[in-house]
């Protein structure tokens, strides 16, 4: 028997608009599901049941009044706690923002509400989006619904775990170096990082401003297209948003992949530490594309090996700056101390976790006048070279395919003491952030373990190539059906 929980956002919103089901019914179904499985997953930091019910009621009343409903009518969704929500505590997964209740809604919360969705609550994340396992958090670790001993990935671990555990129909995550795509890969869901500037950053707490992008986490490619359509577009509140028109992403999902040239960066397949199951799954994915009528072409990304180092210089530099405002003076946590300097130190010592402190220190170091040219200046130059690599590659192909994560997953606690191995989780995803390109991770197979773990497939497109990504991803999804497998809880 089909449960309301089985419906995609596209199906549910159609049913709500048609009056076949109410937003209230959908909301209650998800709130009940949260109550049932959330203790096993820890995806939520805050369930906003009261405001969710009020939102559902207002959507239903709007329909009863004969007013047209938005594209996400009655869709119960959750936001990564990095998104600013008026009247609902927003902490970015950090103790330093404990108790901060924003006086304003960010563009994401506002546009999703205007699309008539229902916000269920705020989901967990690595503190300030720094991490690949969701373990950098003062809260209990989020667990992978496919095997609760495993991490869900990060930093948008709560966003993907909630979708995989069906405690939210869709969520928003953020992706600075792979923080949507890598966890989506680990939890068998769809995760999209749009082109830099496609989605506003207003009301998204900054980690690394030149790399951060918000994007949807969903069960299907079409749902990702639906959600992106609701949040994308120029925003006067963010000077870096692009003025380009927003495509009809749902139509793009029907275009198919036949005739598209899929680029493969063969050298990346020689990466040390690339899991054999991931390699096998990826090879099968390429075969699937061929069956669907796409052609495969080899591409070169000559500066691929420098991407991780470049990324960690730029993102730590920007983070050290963006996190300077958490000083205990105006909002969030403050540790009282006898002098201003001592108050700053005590507040930041107690408020930030170890990984955040590590990145602030690295970033502060690279921005010193005496090391700026050697680190930040050079990293900016390499970033330009990486952008050019992609431009050149897209002269030969339409999309570039790769695994999303080099491994299917790892156990909670396994890598927390080894930041460098953790940083390598992002090796396939970072390039898109450095070059500002759109990338999507879609379910692409399972590992050979006794308890199989999901393996994601990543597609990266040219600037504003989201429609191309949706065309190829939707065709692949329909052909392989990996997304139909659901974690049993």
Give the whole-angstrom CA distance, residue 78 versus residue 58. 18
Under 8 Å between Cβ of 93 and 128: yes
Binding range to other proteins, per CB under 8 A, among 217-225, 260-268, 326-334, 349-357? 326-334
Annotated catalytic residue within 124, 133, 137, 179: 179
* Token output for 324: 């300077």
Among 66, 103, 273, 395, binds other proteins (CB under 8 A): 103
Identity of the residue, 206 or 427, whose beta carbon is nearer to other proteins in the bound complex? 206
Identity of the residue, 9 or 204, whose beta carbon is nearer to other proteins in the bound complex? 204
Quote the least distance from Cβ 137 to other proteins, whole Å.
17
Give the whole-angstrom CA distance, residue 359 versus residue 289. 40
Give the whole-angstrom CA distance, residue 425 versus residue 409. 9
Per-residue contact flags (x/-) with other proteins for residues 336 to 355, judged by CB under 8 A: ----x---x-----------
Give the whole-angstrom CA distance, residue 455 versus residue 281. 7
Instruction: Tell me: does residue 51 bind other proteins (CB under 8 A).
Output: no
Among 70, 71, 93, 102, binds other proteins (CB under 8 A): 102
Quote the least distance from Cβ 340 to other proteins, whole Å.
7
Quote the least distance from Cβ 309 to other proteins, whole Å.
18
Q: What are the C-alpha distances in Å from 355 to residues 90, 419, 465, 468?
A: 20, 8, 33, 36
**Is 137 noted as a catalytic residue in this protein?**
no
Among 104, 245, 392, 449, binds other proteins (CB under 8 A): 104
Identity of the residue, 320 or 425, whose beta carbon is nearer to other proteins in the bound complex? 320
Annotated catalytic residue within 13, 80, 425, 447: 80
Quote the least distance from Cβ 193 to other proteins, whole Å.
17
Single out the residue of 157, 178, 189, 184 nearest to residue 81, CA to CA.
157
Give the whole-angstrom CA distance, residue 96 versus residue 467. 39
Under 8 Å between Cβ of 159 and 78: yes
Among 284, 286, 331, 478, binds other proteins (CB under 8 A): 331
Give the whole-angstrom CA distance, residue 198 versus residue 206. 16
Quote the least distance from Cβ 83 to other proteins, whole Å.
8
Instruction: Tell me: does residue 240 bind other proteins (CB under 8 A).
Output: yes
CA-based angle 113:190:57, to the nearest 5? 25
Binding range to other proteins, per CB under 8 A, among 175-183, 316-324, 401-409, 459-467? 316-324
- Percentages helix, strand, coil for the chain, rounded to the nearest 5? 45, 15, 40
Instruction: Tell me: does residue 367 bind other proteins (CB under 8 A).
Output: yes
φ, ψ of residue 174 to 5 degrees: the values are -135, 150
Single out the residue of 407, 466, 404 nearest to residue 198, CA to CA.
466
Identity of the residue, 206 or 442, whose beta carbon is nearer to other proteins in the bound complex? 206
- Which residue is it, tokens 């805050």? 46
Identity of the residue, 43 or 315, whose beta carbon is nearer to other proteins in the bound complex? 315
Binding range to other proteins, per CB under 8 A, among 66-74, 90-98, 167-175, 349-357? 90-98
Residues 210-229 that bind other proteins (CB under 8 A): 210
* Token output for 266: 């063969």
**Is 62 noted as a catalytic residue in this protein?**
no
Side by side, which strands form the sheet with 439-446? 44-47, 118-123, 76-80, 170-175, 213-218, 190-193, 439-446, 454-460, 399-403, 261-264, 295-298
Annotated catalytic residue within 117, 155, 185, 405: 155
Longest dimension (CA), the chain: 70
Quote the least distance from Cβ 368 to other proteins, whole Å.
5
φ, ψ of residue 172 to 5 degrees: the values are -105, 140
Instruction: Tell me: does residue 255 bind other proteins (CB under 8 A).
Output: no
Identity of the residue, 60 or 235, whose beta carbon is nearer to other proteins in the bound complex? 235
Under 8 Å between Cβ of 255 and 471: yes
**Is 155 noted as a catalytic residue in this protein?**
yes
Among 34, 78, 92, 407, binds other proteins (CB under 8 A): 92
Per-residue contact flags (x/-) with other proteins for residues 185 to 204, judged by CB under 8 A: ----------------xxxx
Give the whole-angstrom CA distance, residue 433 versus residue 429. 7
Quote the least distance from Cβ 239 to other proteins, whole Å.
5
Give the whole-angstrom CA distance, residue 262 versus residue 394. 10
Single out the residue of 413, 407, 440, 439 nearest to residue 425, CA to CA.
407
Quote the least distance from Cβ 84 to other proteins, whole Å.
4
* Token output for 281: 């799954």
Quote the least distance from Cβ 310 to other proteins, whole Å.
15
Identity of the residue, 44 or 326, whose beta carbon is nearer to other proteins in the bound complex? 326
**Looking at the annotation, which residues are catalytic?**
80, 155, 179
The binding site for other proteins (CB under 8 A) comprises 83-84, 90, 92, 97, 100, 102-104, 106, 201-206, 208-210, 236-240, 317-318, 320-321, 323-325, 327, 329-331, 340, 344, 364, 367-370, 372, 376
């Amino acid at each position: 028997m089909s449960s309301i929980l089985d419906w995609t956002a596209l199906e549910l919103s159609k049913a709500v608009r048609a009056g076949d089901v109410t937003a209230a019914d959908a909301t209650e179904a998800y709130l009940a599901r949260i109550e049932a499985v959330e203790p096993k997953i820890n995806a939520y930091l805050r369930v906003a049941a009261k405001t969710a019910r009020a939102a559902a009621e207002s959507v239903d009343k709007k329909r009863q009044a004969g007013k047209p409903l938005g594209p996400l009518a009655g869709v119960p969704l959750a936001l990564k706690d990095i998104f600013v929500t008026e009247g609902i505590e927003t902490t970015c997964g950090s103790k330093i923002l404990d108790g901060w209740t924003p006086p304003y809604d960010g563009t994401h919360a506002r546009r999703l509400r205007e699309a008539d969705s229902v916000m269920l609550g705020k989901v967990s994340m690595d503190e300030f989006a720094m991490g690949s396992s969701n373990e950098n958090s003062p809260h209990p670790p989020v667990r992978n619904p496919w095997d609760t001993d495993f991490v869900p990935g990060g930093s948008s671990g709560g966003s993907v775990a909630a979708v995989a555990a069906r405690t939210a129909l869709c969520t928003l995550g953020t992706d600075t170096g792979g923080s949507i795509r890598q966890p989506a890969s680990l939890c068998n869901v769809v995760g999209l990082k749009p082109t830099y500037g496609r989605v506003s950053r207003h009301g998204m707490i900054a980690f690394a401003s030149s790399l951060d992008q918000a994007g949807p986490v969903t069960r299907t490619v079409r749902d990702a297209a639906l959600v992106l359509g609701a949040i994308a577009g120029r925003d006067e509140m963010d000077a870096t948003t692009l003025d380009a028109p927003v495509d009809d992403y749902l139509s793009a999902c029907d275009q198919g992949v036949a005739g598209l040239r899929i680029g493969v960066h063969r050298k990346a397949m020689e990466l040390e530490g690339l899991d054999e199951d991931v390699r096998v799954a990826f090879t099968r994915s390429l075969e699937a594309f061929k069956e669907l009528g796409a052609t495969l072409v080899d591409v070169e990304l000559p500066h691929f090996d420098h991407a991780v180092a470049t990324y960690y210089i730029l993102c730590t530099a920007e983070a050290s700056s963006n996190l300077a405002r958490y000083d205990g003076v105006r909002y969030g946590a403050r540790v009282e101390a006898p002098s201003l300097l001592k108050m700053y130190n005590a507040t930041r010592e107690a408020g930030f976790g170890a990984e955040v402190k590590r990145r602030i220190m690295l970033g502060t170091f690279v921005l010193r006048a005496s090391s700026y040219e050697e680190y930040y200046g050079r990293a900016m130059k390499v970033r330009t070279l990486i952008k050019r690599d992609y431009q050149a590659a897209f002269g030969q192909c339409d999309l570039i395919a790769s695994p999303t994560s080099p491994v299917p997953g790892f156990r909670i606690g396994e890598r927390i003491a080894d930041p460098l191995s953790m940083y390598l989780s992002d090796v396939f995803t970072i390039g898109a952030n450095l070059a500002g390109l759109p990338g999507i991770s879609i379910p692409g197979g399972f590992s050979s373990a006794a308890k199989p773990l999901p393996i994601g497939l990543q597609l990266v497109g040219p600037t504003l190539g989201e429609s191309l990504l949706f065309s190829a991803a939707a065709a692949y999804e329909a052909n392989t059906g990996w997304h139909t497998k659901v974690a049993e809880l």
